[in-house]
Amino acid sequence: MPKYIRRAAAVLALGALLLPLSGCATRANGGYYYENHSFRNFDIRSLQGNAEDAALTDTDNISLISSDKSSAGTTVKTAEEVFHRATVSDAMLNVYVSPTRSSRVAMNLGVGEEIELAYYNDAFLQVKKQGVLLGYCEPGNTYSGIWDNYFGFLPEEAGMAKNKNSELVPATSKLVDVRLYTDKLEIKMKLATNGTSIGEPFYHRNLCMLQEDTLVKLMDAIKLFEADGYKIVIYDAYRPTSVQQRWFDVVRVHKWVADPSIGMGGIHDRGVAVDMTLMDKNGVELDMPTAMHTFTDAASRWSKMTSTQRKNVDYMTDIMTRCGFTYINSEWWHFQDSLIENYLPTDHPIDEIPLVYMERSGS
Protein backbone atom coordinates (compact mmCIF):
# COMPACT_ATOMS: atom_id res chain seq x y z
CA MET A 1 0.00 0.00 0.00
CA PRO A 2 1.44 3.46 -0.91
CA LYS A 3 2.78 5.49 2.00
CA TYR A 4 0.31 8.32 1.47
CA ILE A 5 -2.50 5.85 2.06
CA ARG A 6 -0.81 4.09 4.98
CA ARG A 7 -0.30 7.22 7.07
CA ALA A 8 -3.93 8.33 7.09
CA ALA A 9 -5.18 4.75 7.22
CA ALA A 10 -3.87 4.46 10.77
CA VAL A 11 -6.40 7.06 11.92
CA LEU A 12 -9.24 5.50 9.95
CA ALA A 13 -8.45 1.98 11.09
CA LEU A 14 -8.70 3.05 14.70
CA GLY A 15 -12.33 3.95 14.08
CA ALA A 16 -13.03 0.37 13.07
CA LEU A 17 -11.66 -0.90 16.38
CA LEU A 18 -13.60 1.59 18.43
CA LEU A 19 -16.94 1.17 16.71
CA PRO A 20 -18.03 -2.27 15.51
CA LEU A 21 -21.24 -2.14 13.51
CA SER A 22 -24.00 -4.68 13.82
CA GLY A 23 -27.24 -5.42 12.07
CA CYS A 24 -28.46 -4.80 8.55
CA ALA A 25 -31.73 -3.08 7.73
CA THR A 26 -34.33 -4.83 5.61
CA ARG A 27 -36.76 -3.17 3.22
CA ALA A 28 -39.93 -4.82 1.98
CA ASN A 29 -38.24 -5.58 -1.34
CA GLY A 30 -35.14 -7.09 0.25
CA GLY A 31 -32.28 -6.20 2.59
CA TYR A 32 -29.62 -4.33 0.72
CA TYR A 33 -28.24 -1.48 2.79
CA TYR A 34 -27.65 -0.25 6.32
CA GLU A 35 -30.19 2.12 7.79
CA ASN A 36 -28.47 2.55 11.15
CA HIS A 37 -25.95 5.37 10.86
CA SER A 38 -22.83 4.19 12.62
CA PHE A 39 -21.51 7.66 13.35
CA ARG A 40 -24.53 9.18 15.09
CA ASN A 41 -23.47 8.35 18.67
CA PHE A 42 -19.77 8.10 17.91
CA ASP A 43 -17.41 10.45 19.75
CA ILE A 44 -15.07 11.40 16.93
CA ARG A 45 -12.74 13.14 19.42
CA SER A 46 -11.66 9.73 20.71
CA LEU A 47 -9.64 9.34 17.50
CA GLN A 48 -7.51 12.38 18.19
CA GLY A 49 -4.28 12.60 20.16
CA ASN A 50 -5.32 16.13 21.07
CA ALA A 51 -9.05 16.28 21.68
CA GLU A 52 -9.15 19.97 20.82
CA ASP A 53 -8.15 19.18 17.25
CA ALA A 54 -11.53 17.64 16.46
CA ALA A 55 -14.86 19.11 15.43
CA LEU A 56 -18.27 17.73 14.53
CA THR A 57 -20.26 20.18 12.48
CA ASP A 58 -22.47 20.83 9.51
CA THR A 59 -20.84 22.85 6.74
CA ASP A 60 -23.93 25.06 6.54
CA ASN A 61 -22.71 26.60 9.80
CA ILE A 62 -19.18 27.68 10.61
CA SER A 63 -19.46 27.40 14.40
CA LEU A 64 -16.57 25.44 15.84
CA ILE A 65 -17.18 22.92 18.59
CA SER A 66 -14.85 22.96 21.56
CA SER A 67 -13.30 19.90 23.14
CA ASP A 68 -15.58 19.72 26.17
CA LYS A 69 -19.23 18.76 26.27
CA SER A 70 -21.65 18.55 29.14
CA SER A 71 -23.32 15.28 30.06
CA ALA A 72 -26.35 16.48 28.11
CA GLY A 73 -24.22 16.85 25.01
CA THR A 74 -24.32 20.65 24.86
CA THR A 75 -21.15 22.46 23.97
CA VAL A 76 -19.34 24.43 26.67
CA LYS A 77 -16.49 26.90 26.36
CA THR A 78 -12.97 25.74 27.16
CA ALA A 79 -10.20 27.79 28.72
CA GLU A 80 -7.92 27.43 25.72
CA GLU A 81 -9.57 28.03 22.33
CA VAL A 82 -8.35 26.54 19.09
CA PHE A 83 -8.07 29.10 16.30
CA HIS A 84 -8.36 28.17 12.63
CA ARG A 85 -7.22 30.13 9.61
CA ALA A 86 -10.00 31.49 7.39
CA THR A 87 -10.69 34.12 4.76
CA VAL A 88 -13.63 36.51 4.51
CA SER A 89 -15.17 35.42 1.23
CA ASP A 90 -18.81 36.39 0.64
CA ALA A 91 -19.55 39.74 2.30
CA MET A 92 -18.31 42.38 4.71
CA LEU A 93 -17.83 40.85 8.15
CA ASN A 94 -19.09 42.69 11.23
CA VAL A 95 -16.79 42.33 14.24
CA TYR A 96 -18.54 43.10 17.54
CA VAL A 97 -16.90 44.36 20.73
CA SER A 98 -18.81 41.78 22.81
CA PRO A 99 -20.39 38.44 21.90
CA THR A 100 -23.85 39.94 21.40
CA ARG A 101 -25.55 41.65 18.47
CA SER A 102 -26.56 44.54 20.72
CA SER A 103 -22.93 45.49 21.28
CA ARG A 104 -21.02 48.02 19.19
CA VAL A 105 -19.55 46.97 15.86
CA ALA A 106 -15.83 47.52 16.35
CA MET A 107 -14.92 47.17 12.67
CA ASN A 108 -15.82 45.66 9.33
CA LEU A 109 -13.52 43.23 7.56
CA GLY A 110 -13.55 43.16 3.79
CA VAL A 111 -13.71 40.27 1.36
CA GLY A 112 -10.34 38.54 1.04
CA GLU A 113 -8.99 39.51 4.44
CA GLU A 114 -7.23 36.64 6.21
CA ILE A 115 -8.37 36.04 9.79
CA GLU A 116 -8.36 33.40 12.51
CA LEU A 117 -11.54 32.06 14.10
CA ALA A 118 -12.23 30.13 17.30
CA TYR A 119 -15.39 28.84 18.96
CA TYR A 120 -16.84 31.03 21.72
CA ASN A 121 -20.45 29.86 21.99
CA ASP A 122 -23.19 28.65 19.68
CA ALA A 123 -23.95 32.21 18.58
CA PHE A 124 -20.49 33.76 18.25
CA LEU A 125 -16.92 33.07 17.17
CA GLN A 126 -13.81 34.88 18.33
CA VAL A 127 -11.93 36.78 15.62
CA LYS A 128 -8.18 37.36 15.45
CA LYS A 129 -6.00 38.94 12.80
CA GLN A 130 -2.25 38.34 12.83
CA GLY A 131 -2.62 37.00 16.37
CA VAL A 132 -4.46 40.05 17.72
CA LEU A 133 -7.95 39.51 19.13
CA LEU A 134 -10.35 41.86 17.29
CA GLY A 135 -13.67 40.83 18.82
CA TYR A 136 -16.54 38.53 17.94
CA CYS A 137 -18.52 37.60 14.85
CA GLU A 138 -21.55 35.49 14.10
CA PRO A 139 -21.25 32.04 12.49
CA GLY A 140 -22.33 31.81 8.89
CA ASN A 141 -21.23 31.15 5.34
CA THR A 142 -18.95 34.17 5.05
CA TYR A 143 -15.62 32.40 5.55
CA SER A 144 -13.53 30.17 3.34
CA GLY A 145 -10.46 28.13 4.16
CA ILE A 146 -11.59 27.21 7.65
CA TRP A 147 -12.11 23.56 6.74
CA ASP A 148 -8.84 23.12 4.86
CA ASN A 149 -7.74 20.43 7.32
CA TYR A 150 -11.17 18.95 8.06
CA PHE A 151 -12.09 15.80 6.22
CA GLY A 152 -15.07 13.47 6.15
CA PHE A 153 -14.69 10.44 8.39
CA LEU A 154 -16.69 7.22 8.65
CA PRO A 155 -15.66 4.16 10.67
CA GLU A 156 -15.01 0.92 8.84
CA GLU A 157 -18.12 -1.25 8.50
CA ALA A 158 -18.99 -4.86 7.77
CA GLY A 159 -22.19 -6.64 6.79
CA MET A 160 -23.88 -8.45 3.93
CA ALA A 161 -24.49 -7.24 0.38
CA LYS A 162 -25.98 -8.70 -2.77
CA ASN A 163 -23.72 -10.03 -5.49
CA LYS A 164 -24.50 -10.33 -9.21
CA ASN A 165 -26.63 -13.39 -8.50
CA SER A 166 -28.65 -11.50 -5.87
CA GLU A 167 -27.08 -13.65 -3.16
CA LEU A 168 -26.08 -12.04 0.13
CA VAL A 169 -22.32 -12.26 0.68
CA PRO A 170 -19.99 -10.72 3.31
CA ALA A 171 -19.00 -7.16 2.45
CA THR A 172 -17.08 -4.28 4.04
CA SER A 173 -16.92 -0.52 3.65
CA LYS A 174 -14.00 1.83 4.27
CA LEU A 175 -15.09 5.14 2.80
CA VAL A 176 -12.49 7.91 2.86
CA ASP A 177 -12.49 11.58 1.89
CA VAL A 178 -10.63 11.86 -1.42
CA ARG A 179 -9.27 15.30 -0.44
CA LEU A 180 -7.32 13.75 2.42
CA TYR A 181 -5.05 11.96 -0.03
CA THR A 182 -4.72 14.22 -3.04
CA ASP A 183 -5.34 17.73 -4.31
CA LYS A 184 -4.52 16.79 -7.89
CA LEU A 185 -8.11 16.56 -9.08
CA GLU A 186 -11.12 18.86 -9.23
CA ILE A 187 -14.18 18.06 -7.13
CA LYS A 188 -17.52 19.44 -8.34
CA MET A 189 -20.18 17.27 -6.73
CA LYS A 190 -23.13 18.03 -8.99
CA LEU A 191 -25.69 16.51 -6.64
CA ALA A 192 -24.85 19.27 -4.16
CA THR A 193 -26.01 21.96 -6.62
CA ASN A 194 -29.24 23.11 -8.22
CA GLY A 195 -27.99 21.69 -11.51
CA THR A 196 -29.43 18.22 -10.91
CA SER A 197 -32.13 16.59 -13.02
CA ILE A 198 -34.61 17.34 -10.21
CA GLY A 199 -33.70 21.03 -10.13
CA GLU A 200 -32.49 21.08 -6.54
CA PRO A 201 -29.63 19.63 -4.46
CA PHE A 202 -29.81 16.11 -3.03
CA TYR A 203 -27.39 17.33 -0.33
CA HIS A 204 -25.28 20.45 0.24
CA ARG A 205 -21.65 19.44 0.79
CA ASN A 206 -19.01 19.26 -1.91
CA LEU A 207 -17.78 16.09 -0.20
CA CYS A 208 -16.24 13.32 -2.30
CA MET A 209 -16.00 9.91 -0.60
CA LEU A 210 -14.72 6.65 -2.10
CA GLN A 211 -13.67 3.24 -0.90
CA GLU A 212 -9.99 3.38 0.04
CA ASP A 213 -9.12 0.56 -2.37
CA THR A 214 -10.93 2.35 -5.21
CA LEU A 215 -9.08 5.55 -4.38
CA VAL A 216 -5.73 3.75 -4.71
CA LYS A 217 -6.69 2.85 -8.29
CA LEU A 218 -7.88 6.38 -8.96
CA MET A 219 -4.53 7.73 -7.74
CA ASP A 220 -2.84 5.62 -10.41
CA ALA A 221 -5.12 7.17 -13.04
CA ILE A 222 -4.41 10.68 -11.70
CA LYS A 223 -0.68 10.17 -12.32
CA LEU A 224 -1.19 8.94 -15.88
CA PHE A 225 -3.54 11.79 -16.79
CA GLU A 226 -1.21 14.31 -15.15
CA ALA A 227 1.70 13.07 -17.26
CA ASP A 228 -0.34 13.94 -20.35
CA GLY A 229 -1.33 17.35 -19.00
CA TYR A 230 -4.85 16.55 -17.81
CA LYS A 231 -6.71 16.58 -14.51
CA ILE A 232 -9.70 14.49 -13.41
CA VAL A 233 -12.91 16.36 -12.59
CA ILE A 234 -15.24 14.34 -10.34
CA TYR A 235 -18.94 15.20 -10.47
CA ASP A 236 -20.22 12.29 -8.40
CA ALA A 237 -18.73 9.51 -6.28
CA TYR A 238 -20.24 7.97 -3.12
CA ARG A 239 -24.00 8.41 -3.28
CA PRO A 240 -26.08 7.32 -0.25
CA THR A 241 -28.72 4.71 -1.00
CA SER A 242 -31.54 7.06 -0.02
CA VAL A 243 -30.26 9.57 -2.61
CA GLN A 244 -30.00 6.78 -5.16
CA GLN A 245 -33.60 5.77 -4.41
CA ARG A 246 -34.92 9.32 -4.56
CA TRP A 247 -33.18 9.96 -7.86
CA PHE A 248 -34.44 6.71 -9.38
CA ASP A 249 -37.98 7.53 -8.26
CA VAL A 250 -37.75 10.67 -10.44
CA VAL A 251 -35.87 9.34 -13.48
CA ARG A 252 -37.38 5.82 -13.48
CA VAL A 253 -34.88 4.55 -16.08
CA HIS A 254 -32.56 1.93 -14.62
CA LYS A 255 -29.79 2.34 -17.21
CA TRP A 256 -29.30 5.98 -16.22
CA VAL A 257 -30.11 5.91 -12.50
CA ALA A 258 -30.08 2.39 -11.13
CA ASP A 259 -32.91 1.11 -8.95
CA PRO A 260 -31.13 0.25 -5.67
CA SER A 261 -33.57 -2.57 -4.98
CA ILE A 262 -32.69 -4.49 -8.15
CA GLY A 263 -29.76 -6.90 -8.22
CA MET A 264 -26.59 -5.28 -6.88
CA GLY A 265 -28.27 -1.89 -6.63
CA GLY A 266 -26.77 1.41 -7.70
CA ILE A 267 -23.01 0.78 -7.29
CA HIS A 268 -22.44 4.43 -6.32
CA ASP A 269 -23.81 3.65 -2.84
CA ARG A 270 -20.97 1.16 -2.44
CA GLY A 271 -18.49 4.01 -2.93
CA VAL A 272 -16.75 2.33 -5.87
CA ALA A 273 -17.91 4.50 -8.80
CA VAL A 274 -17.11 7.96 -10.13
CA ASP A 275 -18.83 10.18 -12.68
CA MET A 276 -15.98 12.15 -14.20
CA THR A 277 -14.48 14.08 -17.07
CA LEU A 278 -11.11 15.69 -17.76
CA MET A 279 -9.78 19.25 -17.91
CA ASP A 280 -6.64 20.58 -19.57
CA LYS A 281 -3.86 22.73 -18.07
CA ASN A 282 -5.97 25.85 -18.61
CA GLY A 283 -8.87 24.46 -16.58
CA VAL A 284 -11.01 23.86 -19.67
CA GLU A 285 -12.99 20.62 -19.70
CA LEU A 286 -12.45 18.41 -22.73
CA ASP A 287 -15.10 18.20 -25.41
CA MET A 288 -17.35 15.26 -24.61
CA PRO A 289 -20.59 13.99 -26.27
CA THR A 290 -22.95 15.69 -23.78
CA ALA A 291 -23.01 17.63 -20.55
CA MET A 292 -22.62 15.62 -17.34
CA HIS A 293 -25.74 13.63 -16.35
CA THR A 294 -27.56 14.17 -19.63
CA PHE A 295 -29.93 11.23 -19.54
CA THR A 296 -30.50 10.64 -23.23
CA ASP A 297 -29.06 8.20 -25.76
CA ALA A 298 -26.71 10.98 -26.88
CA ALA A 299 -24.69 10.26 -23.69
CA SER A 300 -24.08 6.64 -24.62
CA ARG A 301 -20.77 5.32 -25.89
CA TRP A 302 -22.37 4.17 -29.15
CA SER A 303 -23.93 7.56 -29.92
CA LYS A 304 -22.86 9.74 -32.83
CA MET A 305 -19.85 11.85 -31.79
CA THR A 306 -17.40 14.19 -33.41
CA SER A 307 -13.91 12.81 -33.97
CA THR A 308 -12.61 14.95 -31.09
CA GLN A 309 -15.30 13.71 -28.72
CA ARG A 310 -14.62 10.08 -29.69
CA LYS A 311 -10.90 10.60 -29.15
CA ASN A 312 -11.47 12.14 -25.72
CA VAL A 313 -13.89 9.43 -24.57
CA ASP A 314 -11.60 6.64 -25.79
CA TYR A 315 -8.53 8.23 -24.19
CA MET A 316 -10.24 8.64 -20.81
CA THR A 317 -11.63 5.09 -21.00
CA ASP A 318 -8.25 3.59 -21.88
CA ILE A 319 -6.52 5.15 -18.84
CA MET A 320 -9.31 4.23 -16.44
CA THR A 321 -9.52 0.60 -17.57
CA ARG A 322 -5.73 0.27 -17.34
CA CYS A 323 -6.00 1.36 -13.70
CA GLY A 324 -8.61 -1.21 -12.68
CA PHE A 325 -11.94 0.36 -13.61
CA THR A 326 -14.75 -0.82 -15.86
CA TYR A 327 -17.44 1.24 -17.60
CA ILE A 328 -21.05 1.10 -18.78
CA ASN A 329 -22.17 1.82 -22.33
CA SER A 330 -25.08 4.12 -21.50
CA GLU A 331 -22.95 6.84 -19.84
CA TRP A 332 -19.60 8.10 -21.15
CA TRP A 333 -18.77 9.61 -17.73
CA HIS A 334 -19.28 6.56 -15.48
CA PHE A 335 -16.42 4.35 -14.27
CA GLN A 336 -16.56 1.77 -11.51
CA ASP A 337 -14.05 -0.38 -9.68
CA SER A 338 -13.66 -3.76 -11.36
CA LEU A 339 -14.12 -5.32 -7.90
CA ILE A 340 -17.49 -4.29 -6.45
CA GLU A 341 -19.17 -7.32 -4.89
CA ASN A 342 -17.20 -7.21 -1.64
CA TYR A 343 -18.12 -3.61 -0.83
CA LEU A 344 -21.09 -2.69 1.31
CA PRO A 345 -23.88 -0.36 0.14
CA THR A 346 -24.49 2.26 2.84
CA ASP A 347 -26.84 5.17 3.42
CA HIS A 348 -24.84 7.83 5.25
CA PRO A 349 -26.36 11.30 4.64
CA ILE A 350 -23.61 13.44 3.10
CA ASP A 351 -24.56 16.49 5.16
CA GLU A 352 -24.22 14.52 8.41
CA ILE A 353 -20.89 12.78 7.86
CA PRO A 354 -18.54 13.96 10.65
CA LEU A 355 -15.71 16.29 9.71
CA VAL A 356 -12.48 15.45 11.54
CA TYR A 357 -9.33 17.53 11.84
CA MET A 358 -6.53 15.56 10.19
CA GLU A 359 -3.27 16.52 8.51
CA ARG A 360 -3.20 15.58 4.86
CA SER A 361 -1.11 12.52 4.15
CA GLY A 362 0.38 13.50 0.83
CA SER A 363 -0.52 13.88 -2.82
Quick one: 137 and 170 in the same domain?
no
Q: 67 in a domain, yes or no? A: yes
- CA distance linking residue 16 with residue 11, whole number of Å: 9
Q: Which of 144, 168, 192 finishes a domain? A: 144
pLDDT digits (tens, 9 = 90+) for 15-56: 332 232 222 333 323 333 333 333 333 333 333 333 333 333
Q: 154 in a domain, yes or no? A: no
Q: 50 in a domain, yes or no? A: no
Q: Bridge-partner residues for 30, per DSSP?
A: 27
Q: According to the model, what pLDDT value does residue 337 have? A: 96
Q: According to the model, what pLDDT value does residue 198 have? A: 79
Q: Which residues contact 362 (CB under 8 A, 6 or more apart)?
A: 3, 4, 7, 181
119: domain CATH number is 2.30.30
Q: Bridge-partner residues for 83, per DSSP?
A: none
Domain count, the chain: 2
Q: Which domain holds residue 92?
A: 61-144
Quick one: 273 and 214 in the same domain?
yes
| Residue % of the chain over a pLDDT of 90 | 40
**Residue 281 per-residue DSSP state:** T
| Residue % of the chain over a pLDDT of 70 | 72
Q: Which of 144, 176, 206 finishes a domain? A: 144
Q: According to the model, what pLDDT value does residue 150 have? A: 78
Nearest to 340 by CA among 279, 288, 267: 267
pLDDT digits (tens, 9 = 90+) for 230-262: 999 999 999 998 898 888 887 766 656 777 777
CB 269 within 8 A of CB 209: no
Q: According to the model, what pLDDT value does residue 97 have? A: 93
- CA distance linking residue 206 with residue 85, whole number of Å: 20
Q: Which of 144, 173, 196 finishes a domain? A: 144
pLDDT digits (tens, 9 = 90+) for 268-313: 999 999 999 999 999 999 999 999 988 888 999 999 999 999 999 9
Quick one: 239 and 342 in the same domain?
yes
220: domain CATH number is 3.30.1380.10
Query: Full-prediction pTM beyond 0.85?
Result: no
